[in-house]
Amino acid sequence: MPIRRHKISNLCLYRVAFALLFSVAAFADTNCDDGNGQLNTAQPQGKTIEEIIQQFAAKEAIFKIARNNYAYTQDISVETLDGNTVDGEFRQTWDITYDDKGNRVETVTFAPRDTLSRVSMTREDMDDFRNRLPFVLTTEDLPSYDILYVGQQRIDEIDTFVFDTAPKKIQKDRRYFQGRIWVDGRDLQIVKTCGRNVPDVKASGKKRNVQENLTPKFVTYREQIDGEYWFPTYTRADDVLHFVGQDVHIRETIKYGNYRRFGSKSRIIFKGEAAPEKPPK
């Protein structure tokens, strides 16, 4: 997916997502390398790796707060395939807003009958849709992850720093992201992620009667909204989940669109300084 700095219109968001459905249709699995240039493993110039990590994590903390001041639409599609034939589908469209206390308000506007038969949507799946597919790595999250600098890479029009991330340890009842992130070299915000949410719950040995919970490998793209924040606009997963007794080919598409500021009175503060006021639109 092309990654660009610009103010993106709602109509453009849907055109991009519509075009992506055709451009990735030929791939049999989740493709992390689409749009990537050659990887340069040289060390960054002018800043240490630790400085880059600390700076983009601080920017991600601002992004996390800023996103709670935007309403948006999230369209979810989960399909299972038998060969090239879709044999089950889960669809939902949500309108997402936040109340004055920053609590998420989720209104389901479209929800046809769920026809999935070989898998089912779990609480962990729905939590991933809400919180982890658009992976955010803030200063507060850094102690939980090992972060390895991989190099520098151009993605479409953007020069990025590339890092591999993995949880340092798995704590009970917590989920983590494991994979690769691309950080914009100028704005120092994450613009692309590709990997998995872990841990999976698998049946094995004495645990053959547990309810398995497996998640596919996914790639998420962000685009710059209102000239400031890199918000997720598209997530794609195309993977085979290896359950005990059967393999299931699953395809997920999540589109985020219609981003718009709403009437929150909160202000975003970074290092004691408020972001400059912008005239109302």
pLDDT digits (tens, 9 = 90+) for 178-221: 999 999 999 999 999 999 999 988 876 555 566 888 999 999 99
| Residue partners of 61: CB distance under 8 A and separation at least 6 | 138, 139, 140
Closest CA to 226 of 266, 261, 262, 255: 261
Closest CA to 198 of 238, 171, 163: 171
Instruction: Answer yes or no: pTM beyond 0.85.
Output: no
Instruction: Write the CA distances from 63 to 114, 144, 251, integer angstroms.
Output: 33, 19, 28
Rounded CA gap, 179 and 163, in Å? 9
Tokens of 13: 């968001």
Burial of 195 (0-12, 13-18, 19+ CB in 10 A): buried
Higher pLDDT, 262 or 217: 217
Tokens 């109340």 appear where?
99
Of the pLDDT bands very low, low, confident and very high (cuts 50, 70, 90), residue 268 is very low
Percent of the chain residues topping a pLDDT of 90: 62
Q: What's the mean pLDDT in 144-173?
A: 96
Higher pLDDT, 175 or 164: 164
93-124 pLDDT, tens digit per residue, is 999 998 887 788 999 999 999 999 999 998 88
Domain ranges of the chain: 10-264
Closest CA to 165 of 137, 202, 199, 133: 137
Determine the pLDDT at residue 1: 58
